[in-house]
Amino acid sequence: MSRSLNFSVSDTINAFITTIPEVSYEDGPLSGTTVAIKDNISTRGVETTCASKILKGYIPPYDAHVVTLLKEAGAAIVGKTNMDEFGMGTTTENSAFGPTLNPCDPARVPGGSSGGSAAAVAAGYCDMALGSDTGGSIRCPAAFCGIVGLKPTYGRVSRYGLIAYANSLEQIGPMAKDVTGVSRLFSVIAGHDKRDSTSVDRPYTHTPDPSIKGLKIGLPSEFFGEGVDPKVAESVRNAVNTLERAGAEAVPCSMPSMSHALAAYYVICTSEASSNLARFDGVRYGPGGDLRKSWHEEFSDRRQERFGKEVRRRIILGTFSLAAGYFGRYYQKAQTARQMVRDDFNRLFKDVDLVAGPTMPSIAFRLKEKSDPLQMYLSDILTVPANLAGVPAISVPCAKVDGMPVGLQLIGRHFEDEKVIDAAFAYEQEAA
């Protein structure tokens, strides 16, 4: 049975790029649940911009697989959320449509790149949201805005329709106020899609279970060391103590591969991005240009005008990292570093069930605080390992520091998203 609801919010924090004022929805497990969708996920008939001028006016003629699943589950899709352009950023300041503000403190960023989704949920504009996570883009804004966000095991959620930034690293994932909400949304979107050759056949049909007695949690020294705000580190240690009260056992450990993880991440994601973004030529979609110029000239000018600085910077870095005449060897070497991260996790997971630490090294930055690109990249250090290894990772809010939320990150084995969710749920229950 088809029903509809009216969606109108006073979006003072610029969470949305597009809203859908009248939404129809069907019966199903999510019937009537309001869900916002990050604007890099294709929605048929609804403008999809990736927060970029180069896709202004682009209306996909097809739905992403997850959107089809949401519609079949009865979700009410209320709008497309703001993000860092093409997923490139940690603050949602790199949007062509202005930054999103953190509902906890509008002078601060909501995190990125799924900042709009996180802020919309945190501000209560909608029940749930979809984000995408390439190097922390779901977990970071979840941590900064004080909500729950999951990056699933690579391959568990179809990427068909996700406008690619770094194909080998990213996943679409659920974001909600609590673990139960995340779990409900995950159960709708997880599962095999034959249109995505990297998709695995692992549906999610779990209900969060807080019994974690005997669960072993590893705390890598690298997650609590240099570069991490001591107050943040302390809140997260306290959160781990809470988990111990619930029956878990925490042990110290080490991940030496962390030293190369960030470099590996940025080489791989910029390389893949430089190739993925080459298709934006304004011929088949996007605003048109000047046909009187020659192909390369027009292409180049159009892209300069319509890609933001961060996007162009990453395209250039990625091109350097693949070019035979320059640093072409970096892409392969980055894969070596990547394998080292995987090996480290495999080694740790022989002794522990989960790895824990802060999601981000600090609380949300002030707007315009991080102006140096490299400084910005360094703040991803705690989130990128899970993307490099393809393992599931969740951020659950655990404390406040200087009035701003702090996220506890829990990382699990491949395909043990259920265990990760259980531990996050256990924390929520115990801390309540």
CA angle 174, 369, 267 (to 5 degrees): 60
Q: Which of 20, 138, 33, 28 is nearest to 72 (CA)?
A: 28
Closest separation between CB of residue 132 and other proteins, Å? 11
Q: Give φ, ψ of 237 to 5 degrees.
A: -60, -40
231 counts as catalytic: no
Helix axes 258-276, 309-322, angle to 10 degrees: 100
Question: For tokens 């004022």, what's the residue?
Answer: 21
10 counts as catalytic: no
Q: Measured from the CB atom, is 47 or 369 closer to other proteins?
A: 47
Closest separation between CB of residue 374 and other proteins, Å? 5
Q: Measured from the CB atom, is 127 or 298 closer to other proteins?
A: 298
284-287: long-range contacts (C-beta < 8 A, 24 or more apart)?
Answer: 285/55, 285/58, 286/54, 286/55, 286/56, 286/57, 286/58, 287/53, 287/54, 287/56, 287/57
For the chain, give me the number of helices (H) and strands (E)?
12, 13
Q: Measured from the CB atom, is 132 or 395 closer to other proteins?
A: 132
38 counts as catalytic: yes
Q: Which of 390, 168, 166, 171 is nearest to 269 (CA)?
A: 166
Q: Measured from the CB atom, is 218 or 286 closer to other proteins?
A: 286
* Catalytic residue from among 137, 274, 362, 395: 137
* Catalytic residue from among 113, 187, 235, 362: 113
Q: Give the C-alpha separation, 375 to 372, whole Å.
A: 5
Closest separation between CB of residue 83 and other proteins, Å? 14
Closest separation between CB of residue 98 and other proteins, Å? 21
Q: Measured from the CB atom, is 184 or 338 closer to other proteins?
A: 338
Closest separation between CB of residue 338 and other proteins, Å? 6
Q: Is 412 helix (H, G, I), strand (E, B) or coil?
A: strand
Catalytic center residues: 38, 113, 137
